Amino acid sequence: MAVVSSNDFKTGMTLEIDGNLMQVVDFQHVKPGKGHAFVRSTLRNSRTGSVVDKTFRAGEKVERAIIDKRTMQYLYREGENYVFMDNESYDQITVEPATLGEASNFLIETNSAVLLMFGTEIIGVDLPASVELTIAETEPGVQGDRVSGASKPATLETGFVVQVPLFINPEERIKVDTRNGSYIGRA
């Protein structure tokens, strides 16, 4: 493991603290007029998603977790689990839905995803900012129904439901923001 000083924290850095993988969400160097400097940080547990505030002394050494990013192809669902294939070794890996979190709403068979791995453990998924998906089901747009800003629910090919404008019809391809699950526009 690499050791990093609390003075060198960066947003997105992953640390190993007390056996947990903690990702730095935010940090602030504080130099009070009296006493020693310290680093106030907000950390997210990569396994559970819980957020914790922690204070470190300035210059305190912490173990940095080495996270490997691997591009894998999503093959199919096996029961509740997702099966991915490593693009380099062609090994197949089964991943639980809890590990993928919200990313499972945007995965389409045969598409690639970047899996974040700590050793052999998958701790998350890096998705692009937006993905193109096909609408599986929605109410058809009605001629003359042109209320400004109105929206309706649409079920995507992955089963995720997103609010779309009234003029969007079934079988159309749309862009969806993977960060908040909102409609961006037609593809």
Give me the pLDDT at residue 148, please: 64
The answer on 155 and 114 residing in a single domain is: no
**Do 187 and 177 touch, CB atoms closer than 8 A?**
no
> Which is it for the CA torsion 78, 82, 86, 89, positive or negative?
negative
Q: Where are the beta strands (DSSP E) in 65-167?
A: 68-78, 81-86, 92-95, 112-118, 121-126, 130-138, 151-156, 161-165
Q: Which of 76, 96, 126 is the last residue of a domain?
A: 126
The answer on 58 and 83 residing in a single domain is: no
**Do 30 and 37 touch, CB atoms closer than 8 A?**
yes
Domain that holds residue 86: 68-126
CATH number at residue 161: 2.40.50.140
Q: Which of 43, 64, 85 is the last residue of a domain?
A: 64
CATH number at residue 26: 2.30.30.30
Look at residue 146 and tell me whether its pLDDT is greater than 90.
Answer: no
The answer on 76 and 60 residing in a single domain is: no
The answer on 57 and 83 residing in a single domain is: no
The answer on 106 and 150 residing in a single domain is: no
Tell me: the pLDDT tens digits for 32-66?
A: 888 899 999 999 888 777 899 999 998 899 999 88
The answer on 182 and 144 residing in a single domain is: yes
The answer on 60 and 95 residing in a single domain is: no
Count of domains observed in the chain: 3
**Do 67 and 118 touch, CB atoms closer than 8 A?**
yes
Tell me: the pLDDT tens digits for 104-132?
A: 888 888 888 888 888 888 888 888 888 88
With 0-12 / 13-18 / 19 or more C-beta atoms within 10 angstroms meaning exposed / middle / buried, residue 95 is buried
The answer on 50 and 92 residing in a single domain is: no
Q: pLDDT-based confidence at 85, cuts 50/70/90?
A: very high
Look at residue 181 and tell me whether its pLDDT is greater than 90.
Answer: no
Give me the pLDDT at residue 143, please: 60
Q: Which of 83, 102, 126 is the last residue of a domain?
A: 126
